[in-house]
Structures are given as structure tokens and as C-alpha cells.
């Protein structure tokens, strides 16, 4: 009986050892069989409706990015709530590198301060990949407005409160906050009019229904060149290379605008937890694209964007500074989305 028990015990140990060896072999085989990234289509979720300059940039980079990655890259529009709906959707997708978010200063640095119940945390829910482009806004007026610079416009607004109406592309946008910042630093009683997008605001500006608008330089430059509207100042800290004749806010007579000056931006992020090798691979592809692809650089020029790229670590630091800057602006101006 004792011999039987010993043999049974020995046999069980051998069987257990073989099972462990098989398990190790199966695990190693599974790891070796994992497909290299990317092995299926990548989605870039654009939190904007189709047709705008941001959407145009995303669609422009998709084909060359697909070529560099040897994969299919699809652009998917999920607009609404100042970009919050689409970005919130990305935050909840698997962190596998196959769903990326096309983000901006609006979605990552402004929305957290103007939407009381945001469905995502821009500092915790994403892995920064790289910015793609930077750009500036511009202050525009109907030609009949008796002002050719910011100083004259602000004097006219103070002399006749409520007479200077300022349109924006919507509550909580960078254009709206530019207007609120102008009001805050100048004390001028400007009347803000929020539109559902920049296009109807520009239409009303050309028609004389409102006095002024803040909008992106690229989309309005043709109207300025045709004489349908006039530009008073760009909102960047420096003059734009696409319109070097346009002064900065300070040069046009509005000092103390520095806090809101500087570049606006567009970029790509991935859901938090996306493996670093995937993030690094995407960053390297975007760096090469922005640096070496003539077609992409031409699209940027047409859209009035400057190429802008950083490493993931640098982008993370940049995002933190941008978040803090816009937080100060929103709090100072009291701007709200609703």
C-alpha cells in the first residue's frame, strides 16, 4: 500500500510538471503570435462636424499617415458640445492604439472650465501623442465700422455702449474667450453674439448685421483680401507669416492681452494606458509626416496652419501649461458655455 501511494504521488508530480511546461509553452506561443502594431484599421475621431479646417487637416494627414504605418486610417466625425462628445467617446475606448482623438485647445484646455459636467478629464484620460499644427485668430470688422485698429474700436465701444456687437463661433470657443478677454482687459462694453459655427457669423458680418467677429485667420483671409471685411489684429504673440501686414493686438492698441496671446493648436491623443511603444511609433510617424511630406505641408499652408510637433513628453508638458493658461482666462472673464 505504501509503495502504491508513493508511485501515485510520483506520477502526479510528473503530470503536474508536464502541465506547467505545456502552460509555459502555450503562453510563449501566444506572446509570439501577437500581431505587430498596427494590424487593423486606425480611427481618428474628429469631434467636429465635417467640412471645417480642423476636419480638413485630419483628412489630409490620414492617407500619408496610413502609408507610413502600412495600415488603413479612417477619419470619423463625432461633433457636439464644443468637441466634448467626441473626445469623451475616445476616452472610453480600449487603449490599444486603434482609436485616436483629434483634439485642440478647446477640448483639452477650455472645455474643462466651462462645462460643469465634462465626461472626461483631459489630464488623466489621455496619452499625448503630438501636436500637428498651430494657428491664430483674428479680429474682423465690417468695413462700415469707423475703426481701423483696436484702439479706435474700443474708444467707439466705450463712447456708445452696446453699439459694437461681436460675433463668435459659439459659447466656450477660443473665439468667444478672445472676445471676453478683450472686454476684460479693456473695460469696453462689447456685446457678444454667439453663433452655431463661424460660417453664419461671417455671413452676418459681411451683411452688416453685426459689427465685428473673431475667427480663424485662414478661413477669413480671402474675405479680407476681397475687401468684404477688414482685419484689425491677429491674436497671436507675433504676426502671422500668412498675413504679415496684420498687427498684433498690442501693436493695434490693446496692451495687456499677452495672457491670451500665443498659439492655438490641434493634435492627436490616445486613451490613457495606451502602451508607450505604440505612442512612440505614432509620434515618430507624425514627426516624419510634418517634416518631410510636401503634400501635408502644402495643406497646412492652404489652411493657414503652421506645422507643430513635439515628443509625447514635451506635448504633455505643453498641455499642462495650456490648461493652466486657459483656466486663468476663463476664471478671470467668467465665461460659460451655458
Identify whether residues 171 and 252 lie together within a single domain: yes
| Per-residue pLDDT at 291 | 93
Residues 166 and 126 in one domain: no
| Pair 87, 154: CB distance under 8 Å | no
Q: Low-confidence residues of the chain, pLDDT below 50?
A: 1-33
Query: Within a domain: residue 18?
Result: no
CATH of the domain at 178: 3.40.190.10
> Three-state secondary structure along 140-155?
EECCCCCCCCHHHHHH
CATH number assigned to the domain comprising residue 58: 3.40.190.150
Say if 53 falls within a structural domain: yes
- Which strands, in side-by-side order, build the sheet including 126-135? 73-77, 42-46, 99-104, 264-271, 126-135, 306-307
- Residue that is written with C-alpha cell 463625432 in the block: 78
Q: What is the pLDDT of residues 101-116, one digit of tens each?
A: 999 999 999 999 988 8
Q: 3 lies in a domain?
A: no
How many Cα atoms occupy the beta-carbon half-sphere of 26 within 13 Å?
A: 6
Domain end position, chosen among 260, 294, 324: 260
The x, y and z cell numbers of residue 249, run together, are 493686438
Within a domain: residue 11? no
Phi, psi of 142 (to 5 degrees): -65, 140
Residue 25 has what pLDDT? 38
Residue 71 in any domain: the answer is yes
Q: Does one domain contain both 273 and 130? A: yes
Report, in angstroms and rounded to the nearest whole number, the Rg of the chain calculated over CA atoms: 26
Contacts of 299 (CB under 8 A, 6+ apart): 56, 57, 60, 61
- 301-321 burial, b if ≥16 CB within 10 A, otherwise e? eebbbbbbbbbbeebeebbee
Domain residue limits at 179: 137-260
Residue 300 lies in a domain: yes
Are residues 281 and 251 located together in one domain of the fold? no
Same domain, 124 and 272: yes
Query: What is the DSSP annotation of 196-238?
Result: SSHHHHHHHHHHTSSSEEEEEHHHHHHHHHHTSSEEEEESSSS
Instruction: Tell which of 237, 260, 283 closes a domain.
Output: 260
Same domain assignment for residues 255 and 161: yes
Q: The dihedral of CA 254, 172, 323, 55: what is its sign?
A: negative
Return the pLDDT at 169. 85
Would you call 194 helix, strand, or coil by DSSP?
Answer: strand
Task: Check whether the bond before 38 is cis (ω within 30° of 0).
Answer: yes
Q: Which helix (H) or strand (E) holds 11?
A: helix 2-33
Domain end position, chosen among 233, 260, 287: 260
CA–CA distance, 335 with 329 (Å, rounded to integer): 9
- Give the number of domains in the chain: 2
Show Cβ contacts of residue 45 under 8 Å, excluding neighbours closer than 6 positions: 76, 77, 78, 86, 87, 89, 90, 99, 100, 101, 102
Decide if 25 is inside a domain. no
CB atoms within 10 A of CB 209: 14
Same domain, 230 and 277: no
Judge if 50 and 117 occupy the same domain. yes
**151 & 210 share domain:** yes
Q: What is the pTM of this model?
A: 0.82
Residue 184 lies in a domain: yes
Query: Are residues 183 and 274 both part of a single domain?
Result: no
Amino acid at each position: 500500500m505504501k509503495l502504491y501511494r508513493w508511485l501515485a504521488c510520483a506520477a502526479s508530480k510528473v503530470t503536474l510538471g508536464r502541465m506547467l511546461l505545456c502552460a509555459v509553452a502555450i503562453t510563449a506561443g501566444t506572446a509570439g503570435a501577437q500581431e505587430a502594431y498596427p494590424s487593423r484599421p486606425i480611427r481618428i475621431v474628429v469631434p467636429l462636424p465635417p467640412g471645417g479646417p480642423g476636419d480638413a487637416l485630419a483628412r489630409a494627414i490620414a492617407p500619408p499617415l496610413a502609408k507610413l504605418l502600412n495600415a488603413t486610417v479612417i477619419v470619423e466625425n463625432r461633433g457636439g458640445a464644443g468637441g466634448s462628445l467626441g473626445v469623451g467617446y475616445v476616452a472610453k475606448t480600449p487603449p490599444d492604439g486603434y482609436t485616436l482623438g483629434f483634439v485642440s485647445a478647446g477640448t483639452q484646455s477650455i472645455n474643462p472650465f466651462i462645462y460643469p459636467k465634462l465626461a472626461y478629464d483631459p489630464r488623466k484620460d489621455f496619452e499625448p501623442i503630438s501636436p500637428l499644427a498651430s494657428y491664430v485668430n483674428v479680429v474682423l470688422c465690417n468695413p462700415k465700422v469707423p475703426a481701423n485698429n483696436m484702439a479706435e474700436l474700443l474708444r467707439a465701444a466705450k463712447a456708445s455702449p452696446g453699439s459694437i456687437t461681436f460675433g463668435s463661433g459659439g459659447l466656450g470657443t477660443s473665439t468667444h474667450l478672445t472676445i471676453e478677454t478683450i472686454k476684460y482687459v479693456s473695460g469696453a462694453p462689447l456685446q457678444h453674439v454667439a453663433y452655431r459655427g463661424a460660417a453664419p457669423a461671417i455671413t452676418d458680418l459681411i451683411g452688416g448685421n453685426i459689427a465685428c467677429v473673431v475667427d480663424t485667420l485662414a478661413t477669413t483671409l480671402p474675405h479680407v483680401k476681397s475687401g468684404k471685411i477688414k482685419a484689425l489684429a491677429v491674436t497671436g504673440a507675433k504676426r502671422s507669416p500668412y498675413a504679415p501686414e496684420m498687427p498684433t493686438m498690442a501693436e493695434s492698441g490693446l496692451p495687456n492681452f499677452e495672457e491670451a496671446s500665443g498659439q492655438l493648436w490641434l493634435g492627436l491623443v490616445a486613451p490613457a494606458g495606451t502602451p508607450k511603444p505604440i505612442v512612440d511609433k505614432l509620434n515618430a510617424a507624425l514627426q516624419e509626416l510634418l517634416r518631410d511630406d510636401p503634400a501635408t505641408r502644402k495643406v497646412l499652408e492652404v489652411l493657414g496652419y503652421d506645422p507643430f510637433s513635439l515628443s509625447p513628453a514635451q506635448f504633455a508638458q505643453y498641455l499642462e501649461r495650456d490648461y493652466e493658461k486657459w483656466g486663468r482666462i476663463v476664471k478671470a472673464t467668467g465665461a460659460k458655455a451655458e
